[in-house]
Amino acid sequence: MAEFDNATALVDAATKARLAGYRKMDAYSPIPIEELNEALDLRRTRLPLLVLLGGIFGGLGGFGLEYWVSVMAYPMNIGDRPLNSWPQFIPVMFETTVLGAALTAFVGMWALNKLPQPYHPVFNVDAFARASTDRFFLVIETTDPRFERHATWKFLEGLHPVGVSEVAP
Amino acid sequence: MDKSRASVALSEETRALLSRTPAVIEPGHTFESVTETIGHVVLSKRTPIGWFLGFFVAFILLMVLNVTIGNLLMKGIGIWGNNVPVGWAFDIINFVWWIGIGHAGTLISAILLLFRQQWRTSINRFAEAMTLFAVACAAMFPLLHTGRPWLAIYWLFPYPSSMGLWPQFRSPLIWDVFAVSTYGTVSALFWFTGLVPDMATLRDRAKSRFAQRFYGMLALGWRGSAKHWQRYETAYLLLAGISTPLVLSVHSVVSFDFAVSVLPGWHATIFPPYFVAGAIYSGFAMVMTLAIPLRKFYHLEDFITMRHIHNMTKVMLVTGMIVAYGYANEAFFAWYSSNPYEQYMMYNRMTGPYAVFYWSLIAINAVMIQLFWFRSVRDNIPLLFILSLLVNVGMWLERFIIIVTSLHRDFLPSSWDMYAPTGWDFSMFAGTIGLFLALFFLFIRFLPAIAIFEMRTIVPEAKLKAEHHG
- Rounded to an integer, what distance in angstroms lies between the CA atom of residue B445 and that of residue B18? 34
User: Where residue B461 falls among pLDDT bands split at 50, 70, 90?
Assistant: confident
- The C-alpha angle with vertex B265 and arms to B260 and B269, in degrees rounded to 5, equals 50
Using N-to-C axis directions, what is the helix angle for B124-144 and B172-205, rounded to 10°?
A: 140
Distances (CA, A) of A99 to A25, A86, A105, B188: 36, 20, 10, 12
pTM above 0.80, yes or no: yes
* Band of residue B463 on the pLDDT scale cut at 50, 70, 90: confident
Mean pLDDT of B52-69: 96
Percent of chain A having pLDDT more than 90?
A: 39
User: By the 8 A CB rule, do A27 and A36 touch?
Assistant: yes
Which residues in chain B have Cβ-Cβ distances shorter than 8 Å to A74?
164-166
Identify the closest residue of chain B to A104 by CA–CA distance: B235
Residues of A in contact with B468 (CB under 8 A): 8, 11-12, 35
Q: Please say whether the beta carbons of B229 and A33 come within 8 A.
A: yes
Q: In chain B, how long is the greatest CA-to-CA distance?
A: 89
Q: For residue B470, is pLDDT > 60? A: no
pLDDT band for position B44 (cuts 50, 70, 90):
confident
Do the Cβ atoms of B220 and A155 come closer than 8 Å?
no
Q: Give the pLDDT confidence score for residue B280 in this predicted structure.
A: 93
Q: What's the pLDDT score for residue A42?
A: 85
Instruction: State residue B425's pLDDT score.
Output: 94
Across the A:B interface, residue pairs with CB atoms under 8 Å apart total 192
Interchain contact, A98 vs B232, CB within 8 Å:
no
CB B102 within 8 A of CB B131: yes
State residue B468's pLDDT score: 45
Mean pLDDT of B282-306: 91
Contacts of B454 (CB under 8 A, 6+ apart): B121, B124, B194
Q: Is B43 helix (H, G, I), strand (E, B) or coil?
A: helix
Instruction: Tell me which amino acid residue B239 is.
Output: L
**Is the pLDDT score of B257 beyond 60?**
yes
Q: Hey, where are the domains in chain B?
A: 27-158+169-459
Catalogue the E-assigned strands of B145-237. none
**Residue of chain A with shortest Cα separation from B216:** A118
pLDDT tens, residue by residue, B393-442: 999 999 999 999 999 998 999 989 999 999 999 999 999 999 999 999 99
Contact A92 B175 (CB under 8 A): yes
CA-to-CA distance for B290 and B323, rounded, in angstroms? 22
Q: Cis check for the bond before B149: say yes or no (omega within 30 of 0).
A: no
Residue from A3, A6, A11, A31 whose CB has the most chain B CBs within 10 Å, to mutate? A31
A85/B170 Cβ within 8 A: yes
Quick one: what percent of chain B has pLDDT higher than 70?
Answer: 94
pLDDT surpasses 70 at B5: no
Three-state SS letters, B380-432: CHHHHHHHHHHHHHHHHHHHHHHHHHHHHCCCCHHHCCCCCCCHHHHHHHHHH
Is B457 in CB contact (< 8 Å) with chain A? Answer: yes
Most confident region among A140-154, B57-71, B220-234 by mean pLDDT: B57-71
Q: Of chain B residues 112-171, which have a CB less than 8 A from chain A?
A: 158, 164-170
Tell whether the model's pLDDT for residue B7 goes beyond 60: no
Chain-centroid distance of CA B93 in Å reads 15
B30 contacts chain A (CB < 8 A): yes
- Cβ of residue B249 closer than 8 Å to a chain A Cβ: yes
The pLDDT confidence band at residue B276, using thresholds 50, 70 and 90, is very high
User: Residue B229 and residue A7: Cα distance in Å, rounded?
Assistant: 14
Please, which residues bridge with residue B65 across strands? none
Which positions in chain A touch B239 (Cβ < 8 Å)? 102, 105-106
Contact present, A76 and B165 (Cβ < 8 Å): no
pLDDT at B19: 57
3-state DSSP call for residue B453?
helix
Q: How distant is the Cα of B202 from the closest Cα of chain A, in angstroms? A: 9
The burial of A107, by beta-carbon neighbours within 10 Å (0-12 exposed, 13-18 middle, 19 or more buried), is given as middle
Stretch 174-193 of chain B: residues touching chain A, C-beta under 8 Å: 174-175, 178-179, 182, 185-186, 189-190, 193
pLDDT tens per residue across span A42-75: 888 899 999 999 999 999 999 999 999 999 998 9
**Structure confidence at residue A7 as a pLDDT band (50, 70, 90):** confident
- What is the signed CA dihedral for B144, B148, B154, B158, rounded to 10 degrees? 30
Query: B409 — phi, psi (to 5°)?
Result: -135, 95
Collapse the DSSP code of B225 into the 3-class scheme (helix H, G, I; strand E, B; otherwise coil) and give the result: strand
Q: Is the ipTM of this complex over 0.95?
A: no
Alpha-carbon distance B180 to nearest alpha carbon in chain A (angstroms) = 9
Chain A contact present for B244, CB below 8 A? no
**Are A33 and B468 in contact (CB < 8 Å)?**
no
Four-residue CA torsion sign, B71, B74, B77, B78 = negative
- Inspect the interface and report whether the beta carbons of A102 and B189 lie closer than 8 Å: yes
Non-local (6+) Cβ contacts of A91 within 8 A are B172, B175, B178, B179, B249, B253, B256
In terms of pLDDT, which residue wins out, B462 or B214? B214
What does the pLDDT read at residue B1?
Answer: 37
Best CA proximity match to B275, nearest among B418, B466, B97: B97
Indicate which of B223, B232, B249, B261 best probes the interface with A, i.e. most A CBs within 10 Å of its own CB: B223
Q: Which residues of B touch A70 (CB under 8 A)?
A: 166, 169-170
The answer for residues whose C-beta is within 8 angstroms of residue B72's C-beta and 6 or more apart is: B79, B80, B144, B147, B424, B428
Inform me whether the pLDDT recorded for B4 exceeds 60: no
Mean pLDDT of chain B: 89
Does the beta-carbon distance from B230 to A70 stay under 8 Å? no
How far is residue A93's CA from residue A96's CA, in Å, rounded to a whole number?
Answer: 5
Shortest distance between the Cα of A3 and any Cα of chain B, in A, equals: 14
What contacts B221, CB < 8 A, 6 or more positions away?
A115, A116, A117, A118, A119, A120
pLDDT band for A90, please (50, 70, 90 cuts).
Answer: very high
**B-chain residues near A92 (CB < 8 A):** 169, 174-175, 178
Nearest 5 degrees, angle CA B417-CA B418-CA B420?
145
pLDDT in tens, B103-133: 988 888 888 888 888 888 888 899 999 999 9
Question: Could you tell me if A3 and A164 are in contact, meaning their C-beta atoms sit under 8 angstroms apart?
Answer: yes
Selected residues 41-80 of chain A with any CB under 8 Å from a CB in chain B: 42, 45, 47-48, 51, 55, 65-66, 69-70, 73-74, 76, 78
Q: Do B175 and A95 touch (CB under 8 A)?
A: yes
Let me know if domain B27-158+169-459 sits in CATH 1.10.10.10. no
Beta carbons of B54 and B441 less than 8 angstroms apart: yes
The answer, for B233 touching chain A at a CB cutoff of 8 Å, is yes
Lowest mean pLDDT among B2-16, B208-222, B361-375, B456-470: B2-16
Residues of B in contact with A113 (CB under 8 A): 225, 227-228, 231-232
Interatomic CA distance for residues A127 and A30, integer angstroms: 13
